[in-house]
């Protein structure tokens, strides 16, 4: 069978649009570029080139999986986050673009040679992107899921980051008396109710353990707020990623401990409340 890249892009776009996938054309170009090992620019230059049989075969397998709404990052096995290309599989949440805002903030404000904890590290995205940008930092990433930690460790080895270490812990349970200058926590924050309305890419494929928490999504964040002061050095920073309607509850919980100051909500580029920042008194 003879088929050019542009024909394949058009066919793939048509098939993905038919199952309601938004941005189907861009995604089709991404898929073809990846399978043919072209850059996004090279694919344009090869629009009229005939595809080798091997690419035709792998394309069919990818499209069949994507038609079932499996996230492209799981199909291709990797996801871009900040300057990193991270391995991902269904044991880890696919790192989100909004979390990059958290990283940008952390890169600027974490003091020199600080000890940092990434709570709920998943693929290791926050710990590794921070460790990659800031070689002076000493970073620990913990997760309750040993399967997620295998992915995080593979990513650490890929980038040979000796300033990052991962281990298993249910929140602070295995951290002994260690204390940190900064805690970054992107813990699960979706309520059971919201979970039901998530898109199939998320609900049917991403790990529920990485997404939901009880108490309207705030259970783990509340637990973390109660315990964090024991693991923060005086003046240390804590930042939570959260759902857009959770800022007040998180502020109140931080205030209620009487141990935090300079509590601040940080918005994303669409002016939605996405992070809460505080410092230990």
Ligand X SMILES: C[S@@+](CC[C@H](N)C(=O)[O-])C[C@H]1O[C@@H](n2cnc3c(N)ncnc32)[C@H](O)[C@@H]1O
Binding flag, residue 139, ligand X (CB under 6 A):
no
CB-based contacts of 201: which residues, under 8 Å, 6+ apart?
69, 70, 71
Q: Which residue do the tokens 């759902």 mark?
A: 243
Given a contact cutoff of 8 angstroms between Cβ atoms, the answer to whether 244 and 207 are in contact is no
Residues within window 159-218 making contact with ligand X, judged by CB under 6 A: 170-171, 186-188, 209-210
Residue pair 281/262 in contact by the 8 Å Cβ criterion:
no
Between 36 and 93, name the residue whose CB sits nearer to ligand X.
93
Chain centroid, CA 2 distance in Å:
39
Identify residues 82-121 at the interface with ligand X (CB under 6 A): 93, 95, 99, 120-121
220: its two tokens? 């783990």
Residue 82 · residue 100 · CB < 8 Å = yes
Helices (H), 77-183: 97-109, 125-133, 146-159
The CB-of-281 to ligand X minimum distance in angstroms stands at 25
For the bound state, the minimum distance from the C-beta of residue 207 to ligand X, rounded and expressed in Å, comes to 7
Q: Which is nearer to ligand X, 171 or 276 (CB)?
A: 171
**Between 73 and 249, CB nearer to ligand X:** 73
Distance, C-alpha 76 to centroid of its chain: 16
Cβ(190)–Cβ(213) below 8 Å = yes
Calculate ∠ Cα 79-81-86, nearest 5°: 45
249 binds ligand X (CB under 6 A): no
For residues 255 and 171, what is the distance between their CA atoms, to the nearest angstrom?
Answer: 21
Pick 13 or 145: Cβ nearer ligand X? 145
Cβ at position 262, least distance to ligand X in Å: 23
Residue-level length of the chain: 281
Q: Which is nearer to ligand X, 176 or 258 (CB)?
A: 176
Q: How far is the CB of 12 from ligand X (least distance, A)?
A: 28
Cβ nearer to ligand X, comparing 71 with 188: 188
Q: How far is the CB of 14 from ligand X (least distance, A)?
A: 32
x/- track of binding to ligand X for residues 251-270 (CB under 6 A): --------------------
Which C-beta is closer to ligand X: that of 31 or that of 79?
79
Instruction: With CB under 6 A as the rule, give the number of residues binding ligand X.
Output: 22
Interface segment toward ligand X; rule CB under 6 A; list 106-114, 122-130, 156-164, 247-255 = 122-130
Q: What share of the chain is helix, strand, coil (3-state, %, to 5)?
A: 45, 20, 35
Strands 180-185 and 138-143: unpaired
SS3 268: coil
Contacting ligand X (CB under 6 A), which of 148, 164, 238, 250? 148
Q: Is 144 a binder of ligand X (CB under 6 A)?
A: yes
Q: Which residues bind ligand X (CB under 6 A)?
A: 93, 95, 99, 120-123, 125-126, 142-145, 148, 170-171, 186-188, 209-210, 220
């Amino acid at each position: 069978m003879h088929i050019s890249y542009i024909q394949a892009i058009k066919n793939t776009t048509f098939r993905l649009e038919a199952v309601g996938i938004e941005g189907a054309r861009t995604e089709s170009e991404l898929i073809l570029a990846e399978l043919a090992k072209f850059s996004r620019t090279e694919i344009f230059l090869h629009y009229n080139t005939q595809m080798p049989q091997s690419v035709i075969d792998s394309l069919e397998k990818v499209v069949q999986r994507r038609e079932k709404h499996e996230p492209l990052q799981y199909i291709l096995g990797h996801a871009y986050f900040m300057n990193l290309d991270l391995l991902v599989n269904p044991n880890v949440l696919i790192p989100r673009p909004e979390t990059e805002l958290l990283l940008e903030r952390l890169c600027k404000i974490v003091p020199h040679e600080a000890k940092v904890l990434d709570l709920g590290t998943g693929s290791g995205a926050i710990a590794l992107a921070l460790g990659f940008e800031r070689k002076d930092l000493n970073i620990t990433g913990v997760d309750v899921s040993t399967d997620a930690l295998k992915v995080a460790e593979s990513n650490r080895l890929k980038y040979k980051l000796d300033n990052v270490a991962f281990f298993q812990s249910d929140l602070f349970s295995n951290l002994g008396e260690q204390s940190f200058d900064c805690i970054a926590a992107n813990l699960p924050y979706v309520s059971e109710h919201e979970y039901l309305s998530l898109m199939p890419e998320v609900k049917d494929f991403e790990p529920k353990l990485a997404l939901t928490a009880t108490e309207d999504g705030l259970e783990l964040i509340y637990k973390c707020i109660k315990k964090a002061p024991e693991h923060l050095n005086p003046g240390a920073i804590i930042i939570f990623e959260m759902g857009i309607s959770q800022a007040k509850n998180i502020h109140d919980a931080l205030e209620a401990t009487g141990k935090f100051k300079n509590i601040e909500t940080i918005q994303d580029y669409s002016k939605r409340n996405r992070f809460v920042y505080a410092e230990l008194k």
